[in-house]
């Protein structure tokens, strides 16, 4: 295994994550290939899919002929878990039993700057052992994986298994007999096509019917002296249906087989393990500088989730599509107001992924199927990306200001971060139409849906008006960079006038600003104005940020600031965006530390939620959503990723 030692690595080991993760990522490839632990100890509960349904994998270490369990339930005697260290890309457990110490590191190489590796559906379990009693031991590792990895629910479809040997690797696979590829869509669903693989070098692989659990299981056994490397892989054959066409992912775009992918993964392990340390070292050090140690903990936990809530595929022209799934918020695919909060992480690590989020929206919006002069909400229900499904395309159920503002900000932010404004130029007419919609309707939004309508529809929404201003300013940036100076000046003039109007109408008179223009004495998070600070457009005076962030403090619950005055719940992404308006690091930390405490004590043991109660820390809804990438916004400010004006 990787033996890398650097000064940064030493710092990383000193500043280990102390956050008790609500759930621990084990295998995190995409919305279907997803395995988590929702217990404090890996061997005290069944491993689960992000949806909470069982995705049973059991891990046993046989020591001198006796089975000890390090993962899952019911088999063997449990080892004593003595440690857990979570980094951006790894979750490493430490166990002890019978004079042996075992380290079990789960590693999915989700490197955003290497799409071939990021999309390769192979995840690792690296095991290492050492004697703690000074004597030699005979050891063997055994992994048992159930049919739940390849069908929606156990017993729902008949499965079949087979074994393979290639390049010195022994593998066993399991999949449904019927193979209904891309046969259904929805939220609380797991995959029921393709094949799950267990693989290792010099291993014994098999399958059997488990009478006790009533499932078919596949097994892998391997002798272990000091170290062993096991691969979990999934060949989904086709990943996404895109306007009627079935698409493959990036890793297999040229016909690469899963066997080749697994073989390459074994060959790449040492290099990728070292790269994972380097990525985590940089993330740790920079995020601590930007926002403190507790902020850093949350980014490291969010990293894999934010990526694995997407599927990356290539369209027929070879262009990247990065399709999000709305996890437990209705299952929509490529949703604009899910992409918008997620982009800070991807703007930092690979802006091309943000472009991959936007391509489906522009294609659909510019087609005859979309009848409106504003931006759509989504392009389907995962994994079928064939056109908007939200609201049945009825006007009353659209989010016009919300999505126009989101798309304009996203386009501007992508263009600045990448230095490439050609995509904005390609879709310039569409952007002009959306900007016109905001200038006509954004000053005082009508009673319409927005992304934060949990407590009901709201007219005269002050934060939504700020989104319109940010979107218009984003178009001003685009026009300036494309050499359209007259249009740029006009858009910035409109944004300034709207800003002045906003300041006059939204103020409460005590340094704070209202939830709605007609509701004096109310409050809400004004997270949409953060782009004024990030772009450097200076439409809103900085003292306004200061007054608002200080006034917000009186509304804090034990676990942070509520979204607005109507309920005690909040959104973690918007909380960090609001905190980024703070004038210094100490103030920022005071905003986000309650969020850290919420995750640390959260009774709902699921992948990071972004919607929880500030009084109890309990999840209200949503889990495993890509929006958690929005937590990276303070780090993005630290890097100056989208800074245009000083």
Instruction: Write the CA distances from 278 to 5, 8, 111, integer angstroms.
Output: 11, 9, 11
Which strand (E) or helix (H) includes residue 620? strand 619-621
In 292-389, alpha helices (H) = 293-308, 336-349, 352-365
Between the two ends of the chain, the Cα-to-Cα distance in Å is 46
99 vs 84: CA distance, rounded Å: 19
Better pLDDT: 351 or 5? 351
Plot region of 163 (φ>0 → left; ψ -120 to 50 → alpha; else → beta): beta
399 vs 324: CA distance, rounded Å: 18
525 vs 607: CA distance, rounded Å: 24
Average pLDDT over every residue of 374-396: 92
CA proximity to 577, closest of 546, 609, 533, 618:
533
Token digits of residue 157:
């479809």
Token digits of residue 600:
């640390």
Say whether pLDDT at 4 is over 90.
no
What is the pLDDT, as a whole number, of residue 498?
Answer: 98
What is the pLDDT, as a whole number, of residue 601?
Answer: 98
Token digits of residue 393:
């395309």
Residues 173-192: tens digit of each pLDDT: 999 999 999 999 999 999 99
pTM more than 0.95:
yes
Residues 62-121: tens digit of each pLDDT: 999 999 999 999 899 999 999 999 999 999 999 999 999 999 999 999 999 999 999 999
Say whether pLDDT at 8 is over 90.
no
The domains found in the chain, sorted by start residue, are 7-240 (2.70.98), 319-639 (1.50.10.10)
What is the pLDDT, as a whole number, of residue 131?
Answer: 96
Q: Are 334 and 324 in contact (CB under 8 A)?
A: yes
51 vs 607: CA distance, rounded Å: 9
Say whether pLDDT at 207 is over 70.
yes
Say whether pLDDT at 432 is over 90.
yes
Say whether pLDDT at 10 is over 70.
no
Q: Are 641 and 353 in contact (CB under 8 A)?
A: no
Q: Which residues of 219-230 are buried (b: 16+ CB within 10 A; e: fewer)?
A: bbbbebeeebbb
Average pLDDT over every residue of 594-606: 98
CA proximity to 498, closest of 522, 523, 475, 521:
475
Say whether pLDDT at 12 is over 60.
no
DSSP 281-320: HHHHHHHHHHH-HHHHHHHHHHHHHHHHTEEEEE-TTS-E
What is the pLDDT, as a whole number, of residue 5?
Answer: 44
Say whether pLDDT at 297 is over 80.
yes
Token digits of residue 614:
């500030």
- Specify the 3-state DSSP secondary structure of 495: helix
What is the pLDDT, as a whole number, of residue 15?
Answer: 73
What is the pLDDT, as a whole number, of residue 102?
Answer: 98
Say whether pLDDT at 481 is over 60.
yes
237 vs 252: CA distance, rounded Å: 9
433 vs 428: CA distance, rounded Å: 9
Residues 514-534: tens digit of each pLDDT: 999 999 999 999 999 999 999
The structure tokens 């694995």 sit at: 308
Say whether pLDDT at 3 is over 50.
no
Better pLDDT: 10 or 103? 103
439 vs 378: CA distance, rounded Å: 23
What is the pLDDT, as a whole number, of residue 14?
Answer: 60
Query: How sure is the predictor about 266, in pLDDT bands with cuts at 50, 70 and 90?
Result: very high
Q: Are 57 and 35 in contact (CB under 8 A)?
A: yes
What is the pLDDT, as a whole number, of residue 604?
Answer: 96
Say whether pLDDT at 164 is over 60.
yes
CB count in 10 Å sphere of residue 77: 13
Token digits of residue 280:
């985590």
Residues 439-463: tens digit of each pLDDT: 999 999 998 888 888 877 889 999 9
Share of the chain above pLDDT 70, in %: 98
Instruction: Write the CA distances from 183 to 179, 240, 246, integer angstroms.
Output: 9, 11, 11
Give the HSE-up count for residue 266: Cα atoms under 13 Å, Cβ half-sphere: 22
Better pLDDT: 167 or 3? 167
Taking all residues of the chain, what is their mean pLDDT, rounded to a whole number?
A: 96
Residues 233-264: tens digit of each pLDDT: 999 999 999 999 999 999 998 899 999 999 99
Average pLDDT over every residue of 144-160: 98
Q: Among 172-176, 210-214, 275-279, 538-542, whose mean pLDDT is lowest?
A: 210-214
Say whether pLDDT at 537 is over 60.
yes
Average pLDDT over every residue of 323-347: 98
What is the pLDDT, as a whole number, of residue 13?
Answer: 54
CA proximity to 142, closest of 70, 84, 77, 225:
70
List, in order, residues 6 or more apart from 278 with CB less than 8 Å away: none
């Amino acid at each position: 295994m990787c033996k890398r030692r650097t000064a940064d690595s030493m710092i990383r080991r000193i500043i280990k994550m102390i956050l008790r993760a609500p759930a621990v990522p084990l295998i995190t490839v995409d919305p279907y290939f997803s395995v988590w632990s929702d217990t404090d100890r890996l061997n005290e509960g069944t491993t689960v899919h992000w949806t909470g349904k069982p995705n049973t994998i059991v891990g046993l270490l046989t020591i001198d002929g006796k089975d000890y369990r390090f993962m899952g339930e019911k088999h063997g005697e449990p080892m004593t878990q003595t440690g857990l260290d979570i980094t951006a890309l790894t979750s490493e457990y430490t166990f002890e039993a019978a004079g042996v110490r075992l380290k079990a590191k789960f590693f999915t190489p989700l490197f955003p700057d290497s799409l071939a590796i990021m999309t390769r559906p192979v995840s690792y379990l690296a095991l290492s052992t050492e004697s703690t009693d000074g004597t030699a031991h005979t050891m063997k590792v055994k992994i048992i994986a159930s049919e739940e990895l390849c069908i929606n629910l156990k017993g729902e479809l008949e499965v079949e298994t087979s074994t393979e040997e290639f390049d010195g690797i022994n593998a066993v696979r399991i999949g449904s007999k019927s193979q209904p590829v891309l046969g259904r869509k929805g939220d609380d669903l797991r995959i029921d096509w393709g094949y799950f693989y267990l693989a290792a070098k010099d291993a014994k692989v098999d399958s059997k019917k488990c009478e006790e659990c009533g499932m078919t299981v596949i097994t892998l056994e391997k002798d272990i002296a000091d170290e062993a490397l096991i691969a979990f892989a999934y060949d989904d054959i086709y990943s996404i249906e895109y306007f009627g066409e079935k698409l493959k992912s990036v890793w297999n775009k040229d016909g690469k087989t899963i066997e080749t992918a697994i073989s390459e993964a074994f060959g790449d392990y040492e290099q990728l393990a070292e790269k994972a340390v380097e990525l985590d070292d940089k993330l740790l050090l920079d995020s601590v500088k930007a926002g403190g140690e507790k902020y850093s903990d949350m980014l490291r936990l969010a990293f894999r989730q934010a990526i694995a809530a997407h599927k990356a595929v290539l369209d027929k022209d070879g262009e990247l599509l990065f399709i999000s799934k709305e996890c437990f918020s209705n299952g929509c695919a490529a949703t604009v107001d899910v992409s918008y909060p997620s982009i800070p992480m991807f703007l930092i690590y690979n802006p091309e992924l943000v472009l991959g989020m936007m391509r489906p929206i522009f294609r659909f919006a510019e087609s005859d199927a979309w009848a409106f002069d504003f931006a759509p909400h989504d392009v389907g229900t995962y994994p079928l990306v064939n056109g908007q499904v939200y609201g049945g395309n009825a006007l009353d159920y659209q989010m016009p200001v919300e999505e126009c503002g989101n798309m304009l900000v996203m386009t501007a932010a992508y263009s600045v971060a990448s230095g490439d404004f050609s995509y904005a130029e390609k879709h310039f007419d569409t952007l002009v139409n959306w900007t016109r919609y905001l200038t006509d309707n954004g000053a005082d939004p009508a009673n319409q849906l927005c992304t934060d309508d949990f407590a009901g529809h709201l007219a005269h929404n002050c934060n939504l008006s700020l989104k319109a201003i940010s979107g218009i300013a984003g178009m001003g940036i685009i026009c300036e960079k494309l050499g359209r100076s007259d249009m740029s000046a006009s858009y910035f003039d409109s944004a300034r006038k709207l800003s002045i109007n906003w300041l006059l109408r939204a103020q409460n008179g005590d340094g704070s600003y209202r939830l709605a223009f007609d509701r004096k004495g109310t409050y809400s998070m004004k997270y949409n104005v953060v782009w004024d600070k990030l772009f450097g457009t200076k439409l809103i005076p900085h003292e306004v940020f200061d007054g608002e962030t200080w006034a917000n403090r009186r509304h804090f619950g034990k676990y942070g600031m509520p979204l607005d005055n109507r309920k005690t719940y909040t959104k973690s992404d918007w909380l960090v965006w609001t905190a980024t308006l703070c004038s210094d690091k100490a103030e920022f930390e005071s905003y986000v530390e309650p969020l850290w405490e919420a995750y640390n004590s959260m009774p709902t043991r699921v992948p990071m939620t972004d919607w929880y109660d500030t009084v109890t820390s309990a999840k209200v809804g949503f889990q495993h959503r890509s929006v958690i990438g929005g937590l990276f916004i303070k780090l993005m400010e630290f890097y100056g990723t989208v800074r245009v004006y000083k």
